[in-house]
Chain A
C-alpha cells in the first residue's frame, strides 16, 4: 500500500521532524552520484480542521492530517520531480527521477538555456511563527460559538433565506533538505471564517459572501467583531435585492480596499511573476526600469506581514522571505522570482517560491500584495469631482491573461456615483482593462493602505494570499 508512514514514526523521535536527515541526505547524495547538479526534498505536514454551519446547524466538521513530500532533481539543466504521500518510498525513486530530468534535458534545443539556480545563502535552522493561541487546541464548541455569532447576526431578516458559515484552520509544518546543505524547518498557522448570505424577495435572489482570516491561530478569529461582520453581510445582501444593474461603458471607477487588492493582484501581480515573464507569457517582459503606471502607484508584495493570509517566514526553496517592491512611483522595479528565474534574468533571488502543499513543486507566487497609500483623506474626497461613475466594493474574484495583459475582476456590490455622491446601489459590476493602460489611469489613493479580506490564488496550484491597499480611483475603466 502506498500510503504515508505515520508521522509518529519519525516525528515523535524527539527531533520534531518527519524527515530522517541521514536517509534523505543519502538519497540526495545518490542523486548527485547519478549526475544531478542539485536535489532537494521538501515535506509538508498539514493538520487542519474545517467546520460548516448551515442555518445555524452543524453541517459538517472535518479534522484531518495530510503529509506529502516532493523530491526535485536538477540534472543536465532540467527538472525531474517525484511527489508522494509515502515517505519511505522516496529513496527508491531517485534513479527514475534523475532519468526523468535527463530525458527532459535531452530534448532541449541548442537555442534554449539549461536551467540553473541563483546562488543563495545555505542555512540550517528552524523558524516557527508561534500563534498567540494555537488553533489546534480550539475545540469544536468554540468554533461553533464563533460561527453561531456570525450566523445569528447575518440572518436577522425574513428576506434572508439562508446563511452558510465556514471555518478553516491549518497548522503547516515544512521541512526542506537540499544537496547544497540547506536544512530548514518552519511552521505557522492560518485561520479563516466566512459566511455566504442568500436573500430572496419574490423572484429576486441574491447572495453575498464575507470572509475574515489571516496568518495566526485562534487570536485571528477573536480579533474580528463577527457580529459586525455578519450584520454587514446581511445589510449588503438586502441592499443587493434592491440594487439595479450596473451601467456599462468606460467610466470613472472607485474601488474599495478589497477590490483594490484584487485589482493589483490580477492586473500587476501575476504579470510580475518571473516564471510567466520567462515563458513569454507576460505583458511586462522587458519593462523592468520603465514607467508603467502613474507616479502615485507603489506596489509591494510582502510575505513578512504577520497576520496577512499570504504570510510565511520562509519560501519553498528555503529562502527567508522579504518585501518586494514591484512598482515604485510608477516604475517597474522588481519581478517576483524563484531561484531558477532569478538566474535566468540575472537578478537577485527574492524568495517568491511557493507550493500548494507537499505534493506540489514550487512556482513563483504572490503573498500579501498591496498598493501603498496616497494623499487623499477619504472616499468623499476621492469622489467629490466625479460627475458619473461607480464605487465598487467587495470582491467576487478576478482573472488575468498575463500575456495579453488583460484582466477582469468582479465586485460583490457597488454604488452609482452622481455629482460627487453615492446614489443608487448596483449589482453585477465587473471591471476589465489592460494592465499597461489602467496602471496609468490610477489617479487617486487614500492614505490608509491595509490588507483586505483573505483570498485564494489559482495558478495550477491554489495558495492563500492577502491583498489590499487604500481606496483607489481610476479615471476610466471598462465597467460591465
Chain B
C-alpha cells in the first residue's frame, strides 16, 4: 500500500522547500508534508458496490517574519517557489503579533500503537473478504436485515515536519475503519441504524459495530404509544448518541482563545465548577493507539496528557503557539503557553487548536446499564441523534431529533418511540446529577479529535418531545 521510500520522499521534499526558505533568507519557516494511501470498499443494497484505491498528499509552508505569518500549500515541490512567494506576500500583509515565533525543537518520545504493519500488508482482496464476512454476519443475525450503506477501508499516512527552529520529525500512521448502515424493511416498517468502528490497529474481521447496527435496527421496530406532550425527563445517551453532541460543543468551549475572547459558555469560569463535581475531562495527545494521538502536535510541539476539567472545576484549556502569543499580545490574558494542542487537518491549512483523544471520566466510576436505568426510573434511552452538527458551540444549546429512542419506565425498557425531539443545554445538563456507564467506547467526532466516552445518564436539563 505504501511505497517503501515514502518517508524518504516527503523528507526530501521538506528539505528541498526548507533549503529554498534558507536561500531567500526567511526568518522562520515550517514545512509539513502528508502523503496518504489506501483502499476502500463501498457497500450498498447488501452488496459491495465499488472498490477504490489511491493516494494523495501535499506540502504546507508557514513563514513567520516579525510576528507576521503567511501560509500556502502545494502538491508539487517544483512549484514551491511560487507558493513561498504567496506565503510571504500574505505574511507581509498580515498584522504583527508581538512575541509570536515558531516553537523550538524539543524531544518528543514516540507514542505507541499508531502503526500496524498488518494494515500495510492488507490488499483489496483482504478487504473484499472482510466485507463478505460482514455481509454474512448481518444476514445470519437477522435474515431481514440489509446493509444499505457504509463501507470499509484501510489507509497509511506518511507525514513530516521540518522547521527553521530545528524541528525535524516524520513517521507513518495506519488506520482501519468500518461503518455499516443496516436497515430492516418489512411489514410496512423500515428501521435502520448506522454504526462504525475505527482505529490505528487492525480491527477484527467483524467488529462489534456490525451486531450493534443489527440490534438497534431490530429493537426500534414496533414503536409504542407514549404521551406526546413535551416533557423534561432523564435521558441515558449511549456513547454513540452522546458523542456527536458532546464533540460539537465541549472541545470548542475549551479552546483557550475562545475562553479569553468570551466566545465560550465557560468564559470567565476558570477554577469554577462547570461540570458535576465527580466529572473530569482529560485530553491525552499521547494515548497509546489513540486515533488522534501523535508524538508532536501540528506545530511540532511535544504532545501531552492534560486535565481540562478536574472534578467539575475548569482548570485547563487548549492552546497553540500562535493563539497563545496572539491573545497575550492583544491583552486578553497575561500569560499563555502552547499546550501542544495544535491540530492539522492536512497540508491545506495552517494549524488550528483542538483536542486529540478526549475523555470524560467520573470519580464515582462507571455503572452497568441496569444500574443506570434503575437510577433513571422513568425516562428515555437515546442511541443516535440527527442534527448534532446544528448544536450551538457558543451557547451549548441544542435541539435535535432521534429515531433510535427507547421509553423506560420504572427502570425497565418499555419499547421504542417512533421519533422524538431532544433539546436542552449540554453544559447545563452536565452540571449535576450525571452518571456514567462502565464501558468506554471510542467514537469519531465533529471536533479535531476522537471521543472516548461511556454511556451518559443525565437526570436533569433535557426535554423530550415525542412525535
- Residues of A whose CB lies within 8 Å of any CB of B are 1-6, 8, 50, 57-58, 60-68, 70, 78-86, 93, 96-97, 99-101, 103-104, 107-109, 112, 115, 140-141, 144, 161-162, 198, 200, 204-207, 246, 248-250, 275, 278-281, 283, 359, 361, 396-401, 403-410, 427-430, 432-434, 478-480
Least CB separation from B265: chain A residue: A205
B400 touches A430 (CB 8 A): yes
Give complex CA distance A399, B389 in Å. 9
When distances are taken between beta carbons in the complex, the residues of chain A under 8 Å from B89 are 140
Q: How many residues of B contact A (CB 8 A)?
A: 88
Interface check B105, CB cutoff 8 A = no
B132 touches A107 (CB 8 A): yes
When distances are taken between beta carbons in the complex, the residues of chain A under 8 Å from B387 are 397-399, 408-410, 430, 432
Contact with A along B63-80 (1 / 0, CB 8 A): 000000111111111110
Interface check B175, CB cutoff 8 A = no
B262 touches A205 (CB 8 A): yes
When distances are taken between beta carbons in the complex, the residues of chain A under 8 Å from B94 are 58, 61
Interface check B443, CB cutoff 8 A = no
When distances are taken between beta carbons in the complex, the residues of chain A under 8 Å from B229 are 249
Interface check B423, CB cutoff 8 A = yes
Given contacts A85-B57, A432-B401, contact A112 B47 (CB under 8 A): yes
B13 touches A480 (CB 8 A): no
Interface check B122, CB cutoff 8 A = no
Contact with A along B159-197 (1 / 0, CB 8 A): 000000000000000000000010101000011100000
Interface check B148, CB cutoff 8 A = yes
Query: Within the complex, what minimum Cβ distance (angstroms) separates B439 from chain A?
Result: 26
When distances are taken between beta carbons in the complex, the residues of chain B under 8 Å from A280 are 45-46, 146, 148, 183, 185
Give complex CA distance A104, B127 in Å. 11
Give complex CA distance A82, B40 in Å. 10
Give complex CA distance A206, B37 in Å. 42
When distances are taken between beta carbons in the complex, the residues of chain A under 8 Å from B395 are 204-207
Query: Within the complex, what minimum Cβ distance (angstroms) separates B157 from chain A?
Result: 12
A428 touches B392 (CB 8 A): yes
When distances are taken between beta carbons in the complex, the residues of chain B under 8 Å from A429 are 399
Contact with A along B384-410 (1 / 0, CB 8 A): 001101101011011111010000000
Interface check B460, CB cutoff 8 A = no
A281 touches B183 (CB 8 A): yes
A103 touches B419 (CB 8 A): no
Interface 9-residue window, one of B20-28, B48-56, B365-373 = B48-56
B228 touches A250 (CB 8 A): yes
Query: Within the complex, what minimum Cβ distance (angstroms) separates A347 from chain B?
Result: 18
When distances are taken between beta carbons in the complex, the residues of chain A under 8 Å from B37 are 2
Interface check B95, CB cutoff 8 A = yes
When distances are taken between beta carbons in the complex, the residues of chain A under 8 Å from B421 are 248, 430, 432, 478-480
Q: Which of B37, B47, B77, B264 has the most CB atoms of chain A within a 10 A radius of its CB?
A: B47
B348 touches A62 (CB 8 A): yes
Out of A58, A85, A398, A478, name the residue touching B465 (CB < 8 Å). Answer: A478
Given contacts A58-B93, A100-B124, A206-B395, contact A3 B400 (CB under 8 A): no
27 A–B contacts, CB within 8 A, in A order = A3-B57, A3-B58, A8-B78, A65-B75, A68-B56, A79-B51, A85-B55, A85-B75, A93-B54, A100-B53, A205-B263, A205-B394, A206-B394, A249-B230, A280-B146, A280-B148, A280-B185, A281-B149, A281-B181, A283-B190, A399-B389, A403-B183, A409-B390, A410-B390, A434-B419, A478-B421, A480-B422
A104 touches B75 (CB 8 A): no
Contact with A along B1-43 (1 / 0, CB 8 A): 0010010011011000000000000000000000101000100
B10 touches A1 (CB 8 A): yes
A64 touches B263 (CB 8 A): no
Q: Which 10 A-B pairs have the closest CB atoms?
A: A480-B421, A248-B230, A430-B399, A410-B390, A408-B401, A83-B54, A81-B52, A1-B9, A432-B401, A207-B394
When distances are taken between beta carbons in the complex, the residues of chain B under 8 Å from A403 are 148, 181, 183, 185, 190, 192
A401 touches B13 (CB 8 A): no
B386 touches A359 (CB 8 A): no
Give complex CA distance A100, B39 in Å. 10
Given contacts A103-B51, A403-B190, A430-B400, contact A279 B9 (CB under 8 A): no
Give complex CA distance A219, B395 in Å. 35
When distances are taken between beta carbons in the complex, the residues of chain A under 8 Å from B399 are 246, 410, 428-430, 480
B192 touches A85 (CB 8 A): no
Contact with A along B186-226 (1 / 0, CB 8 A): 00001110000000000000000000000000000000000
A104 touches B51 (CB 8 A): yes
A61 touches B76 (CB 8 A): no
A398 touches B390 (CB 8 A): yes
Interface check B128, CB cutoff 8 A = yes
When distances are taken between beta carbons in the complex, the residues of chain A under 8 Å from B52 are 80-83, 100, 361
Given contacts A3-B75, A83-B56, A410-B390, contact A198 B263 (CB under 8 A): yes
When distances are taken between beta carbons in the complex, the residues of chain B under 8 Å from A398 are 387, 390
B45 touches A279 (CB 8 A): yes
When distances are taken between beta carbons in the complex, the residues of chain B under 8 Å from A100 are 51-53, 124
Give complex CA distance A279, B42 in Å. 12
Interface check B125, CB cutoff 8 A = yes
B423 touches A161 (CB 8 A): no
Give complex CA distance A108, B45 in Å. 12
Least CB separation from A79: chain B residue: B50
Least CB separation from A344: chain B residue: B45
When distances are taken between beta carbons in the complex, the residues of chain A under 8 Å from B76 are 3-6
B262 touches A162 (CB 8 A): yes
Interface check B413, CB cutoff 8 A = no
Least CB separation from A398: chain B residue: B387
Interface check B86, CB cutoff 8 A = yes
A480 touches B57 (CB 8 A): no
B77 touches A3 (CB 8 A): yes
Out of B54, B69, B77, B90, name the residue touching A63 (CB < 8 Å). Answer: B90
Given contacts A61-B90, A432-B401, contact A478 B54 (CB under 8 A): no
Contact with A along B121-143 (1 / 0, CB 8 A): 00011001001100000000000
Interface check B305, CB cutoff 8 A = no
Give complex CA distance A399, B400 in Å. 10
A428 touches B47 (CB 8 A): no
Give complex CA distance A278, B149 in Å. 11
Give complex CA distance A84, B56 in Å. 5
A406 touches B386 (CB 8 A): yes
Given contacts A100-B124, A112-B47, A404-B192, contact A248 B423 (CB under 8 A): yes
Given contacts A249-B230, A249-B465, A408-B401, contact A103 B53 (CB under 8 A): no
A64 touches B47 (CB 8 A): no
A66 touches B124 (CB 8 A): no
Give complex CA distance A178, B35 in Å. 28
B263 touches A140 (CB 8 A): no
Given A60-B69, A206-B392, 11 more pairs with CB closer than 8 A: A3-B75, A79-B50, A93-B54, A141-B93, A397-B387, A398-B387, A403-B190, A408-B387, A428-B397, A430-B390, A432-B401
Least CB separation from A478: chain B residue: B467
Given contacts A79-B51, A85-B55, A398-B387, contact A480 B465 (CB under 8 A): yes
When distances are taken between beta carbons in the complex, the residues of chain A under 8 Å from B192 are 281, 401, 403-404
When distances are taken between beta carbons in the complex, the residues of chain B under 8 Å from A64 are 72-74, 348
Q: Which of A85, A140, A405 has the most CB atoms of chain B within a 10 A radius of its CB?
A: A85
Give complex CA distance A478, B228 in Å. 10
Interface check B445, CB cutoff 8 A = no
When distances are taken between beta carbons in the complex, the residues of chain B under 8 Å from A70 are 54
Give complex CA distance A361, B51 in Å. 11
When distances are taken between beta carbons in the complex, the residues of chain A under 8 Å from B45 are 112, 278-280
